[in-house]
Amino acid sequence: MRVSEINIYPIKSLRGIGLSESVVEKRGLRFDRRWMLTDRDGMFFTQRQVPKMAAVTVEVVSDGLRVTSENEGEMAIPFVPDHGSRQNVVVWQSEVNGLVYNGQVSEWFSDALGRKCQLVLMPESWHRHVNERFDAGGDIVSFADGYPLLVANEASLEELNRRIAVDADGSVPIPMNRFRPNVVVSGAEAFAEDRWLRIKIGETMFRVPKPCARCVTTTVDQSQGEFDGNEPLKTLATFRRPRQVYPDTFEAYGFQGNEVLFATNLIPENPGSTISIGDDVQVLDFT
């Protein structure tokens, strides 16, 4: 198996950036989801509520970020707000102390997305831990939904699209970007990732805590920023329920049984190295 894609999403739920290599840090790939948009009370929102977030592009430049939207043009954002205030913000069940970009930056996002919001940065000093069920003691995560990285398998997507095509003749294949993975691998069998427990990419070893339960974001056309039907969730629901994938152990993962699964989460065990497209992917332990 080899790495075929590497992606980061500096601002949670905005368009991703494809890379040829990236440094693996404790809380995820460098720059990945270190920023997040919230309402003025500090509650996060994503493409689940605002699909047009997918159409806002992000670049990492020498002195910060540069974002672009069709209606608002470009905006330069420093890595750290010049006069940011501190505010506790919420992402899922986590309360995080964030640095708020007051003034022009947050106003730009409010205009681009058509709702009052603010951009926040997770300070390096703040440690948001992964779910305690899978925390080895010091496992932390950025503003990602729950874990530092997400890995997807090309063959699994091919199998999913094959099943979609059987039920909907002439359908357009679902692209990998609907699942917003950090790493994509080639050369594995379809859904081989269901049985991975530990893997090694390049020189970095990762634990595989649990598969990823998927939501309505996977139905957003990532190029247009619009909802686009009910696939892939409709087809995933026919064969990727936790009860179907892990009939004897799904409760141990914390699943209720009604979720649908695609791709799997990773926690780095020895962060600090660079992973690159073309790196070997080795499975060290299976479940």
Instruction: Tell me the per-residue pLDDT of 187-220, one tens digit each, with 9 for 90 and over.
Output: 999 999 999 999 999 999 999 999 999 999 999 9
The answer to whether the bond into 232 is cis (omega within 30° of 0) is yes
Q: Bridge-partner residues for 18, per DSSP? A: 7
Query: What confidence score (pLDDT) does residue 118 get?
Result: 98
Percent of the chain with pLDDT over 70: 99
Residue 172's pLDDT band, with cuts at 50, 70 and 90, is confident
Distance CA 228, CA 177 (A): 14
Question: What phi, psi does 112 have (nearest 5°)?
Answer: -65, -35
Is the pTM higher than 0.75?
yes
Residue 171's pLDDT band, with cuts at 50, 70 and 90, is confident
**Mean pLDDT of the region 72-81:** 97
Query: What confidence score (pLDDT) does residue 176 get?
Result: 98
Domain ranges in the chain are 149-286
